[in-house]
Amino acid sequence: MIIQPANRTLSVKEYYFSIKNKEIAKINAERAAKGLDPVINLGIGSPDGAPSAEAVEALCQSARLKTTHGYQSYTGIPELRKAMADWYEKWYGVKLDPNSEIQPLMGSKEGILLLSLTFLNPGDKVLVPNPGYPTYTSSTRMCEAEMITYDLVEANGWYPDFDALEAMDLSGVKLMWANYPNMPTGAPAKREVFEKLVDFARRHKILLVNDNPYGFVLNEPQSILSVPGAKECCLEMNSLSKSHNMAGWRVGMMLGDADVIKELLKVKSQMDSGMFRGIQEAAIAALYADESWYKELNVEYKKRQAVARRIMDTLGCTYDNEAGGLYVWGRVPSGTAAEMSDKILYGAGVFITPGFIFGSNGANYVRISLCANVEKLESALKKIQSL
């Protein structure tokens, strides 16, 4: 290179799944040369289903109009913000002002970095769950802030240990990430946990963000914003990726205090030129889906979950029967998750995610995605059984 990368990039690596997908592509080429079928990828949580017919039709209708192809508002069209507000009131029991308390995003991942850029200075501290979504860590590091991990462990149901949190040095902590329903563990959202998180954040003057994309997948939807006083110290992120089979459409939302949303917009408006109107129209249609959409979604995921648990049984892994979400998370019987993952990948042609990528507390766990149909999961089970 003619110049050196910025120092902030030295603290992060290429995203794990980006690296792994290249490795799997190489393995597939080798398998094809030997007449073998490709690797069954049970890694990343990218839903394999389609959005509702109404959402697709709304996109098509909008795309046919000459007037919908220009730049759009940074805050999204009013109809989209109203649909998001209506969705939250109907399913979460939370009232939001669509004009000031909702910021549409191009996916939650964008929101994590935007919020970090908006509020973190070098040296600020951020509470990050271990295990947790890797982007919480990378965004913190790219902003040259200091990451302070807080433990989530199986013995405590993968919920925060509030006594341990209170005993930590919280000086300089500005931001805290939480994620319930939880990924990767599948721990469901609980009202009492949300109440404790809100109390903790308010007393310590920390901006708490609950990342909430899994509420409709084998879970009952709950929002931290339903806790009285939560808007004083909390934001919530949500998206249509998992709940509406729209991962590639990149539609998310940041919800909460109007002043925080206003600050976020300062940064966002420097970084994009608005979401394509056709996608916004599709999102509106998706958000007004009736209860049958979610029921059908979960009937299918329940079938997949049963097969994924059989895979865990075959591997000798233990798991929580009460866990929900888009994955099954299991403790390996011996060795490390990385060793098990590689053994299955190279021996059986099946990829499952090693838990170390989510933090040190995931080192002895593996994760199976439910984003493959029952037939593919059954095929993966047979391949693993033949090892």
Q: Are 185 and 129 part of one and the same domain? A: yes
Q: Tell me which of 287, 306, 341 is where a domain ends.
A: 287
Q: CATH number of the domain that 324 lies in?
A: 3.90.1150.10
Q: Are 244 and 323 part of one and the same domain? A: no
Q: Tell me which of 265, 287, 309 is where a domain ends.
A: 287
Spatial separation of the C-alpha atoms in residues 262 and 81, rounded to whole Å: 15
User: Residue 151 sits in which domain range?
Assistant: 53-287
Instruction: Give the CA diameter of the chain.
Output: 62
Spatial separation of the C-alpha atoms in residues 238 and 236, rounded to whole Å: 7
Q: Are 328 and 261 part of one and the same domain? A: no
Question: Total domain count for the chain?
Answer: 2
Q: Tell me which of 264, 287, 310 is where a domain ends.
A: 287
Q: Which two tokens stand for residue 311?
A: 């895979």
Q: Are 251 and 139 part of one and the same domain? A: yes
In degrees, rounded to 5, the angle at the alpha carbon of residue 12 between the alpha carbons of residues 11 and 15 is 175
Q: In what order do the strands lie in the sheet with 350-354?
A: 40-42, 350-354, 365-369, 327-331, 318-319
Q: Are 308 and 279 part of one and the same domain? A: no
In a domain, residue 177? The reply is yes
In a domain, residue 2? The reply is no
Q: Could you read off the pLDDT tens digit of each residue along the chain, which spans 387 residues?
A: 898 888 888 777 788 888 888 999 999 899 999 998 999 999 989 999 999 999 999 999 999 999 999 999 999 999 999 999 999 999 999 999 999 999 999 989 999 999 999 999 999 999 999 999 999 999 999 999 999 999 999 999 999 999 999 999 999 999 999 999 999 999 999 999 999 999 999 999 999 999 999 999 999 999 999 999 999 999 999 999 999 999 999 999 999 999 999 999 999 999 988 999 999 999 999 999 999 999 999 999 999 999 999 999 999 999 999 999 999 999 999 999 999 999 999 999 999 999 999 999 999 999 999 999 999 999 999 999 998
- For residues 385 and 349, is the Cβ–Cβ distance under 8 A? no
In a domain, residue 365? The reply is yes
In a domain, residue 101? The reply is yes
Q: Are 362 and 380 part of one and the same domain? A: yes
CA distances from 242 to 49, 89, 92, 95, 214 (A): 10, 19, 17, 22, 7
Q: Are 185 and 279 part of one and the same domain? A: yes
